[in-house]
Homo-oligomer: A and B are copies of this chain.
């Protein structure tokens, strides 16, 4: 059909580049799909999306305030989420010894187990990731890092 619109391009068939709008749509779809998957995985452990997020962030203990910044939400919100996680025995508050205002949140054994399950299920559910070869994984990682720079 599209015989007329051709213009000189490399011998390999290069599809037309996506418009910025299409790219933005792609990002939106990807982000939505990621969180849909994450929410499902968290739900398997009886957790909400946010509870799963917090557990995932706790690779190392960190103050409530830091969690609030990472989640981009109010500190009082973190209080509530942490309350519920603590009530389930997945998390613990430990008063910081150098600054007694600070409460460090850390995973309990049970919390470690749960987050390990979540991570495993998160990976095994995204089978498409495993279908990328090394170059593609490197490229995707690099491009995402450039579009969404660290911090």
A interface vs B, CB < 8 Å?
A: 2-7, 10, 12, 14-18, 20-24, 26-36, 38-39, 56, 72, 119, 122-123, 126, 128-132, 134-150
**Which of B7, B21, B27, B150 is within 8 Å of A34, CB to CB?**
B27
How many copies are assembled?
2
Given A4-B12, A14-B4, A134-B17, are A26 and B141 neighbors across the interface (CB < 8 Å)?
A: yes
Task: Apart from A24-B122, A34-B148, list 18 A-B contacts with CB within 8 A.
Answer: A5-B139, A15-B138, A16-B138, A17-B137, A20-B129, A20-B130, A20-B137, A22-B141, A24-B123, A26-B141, A30-B31, A32-B72, A39-B72, A131-B146, A132-B143, A136-B143, A139-B139, A140-B143
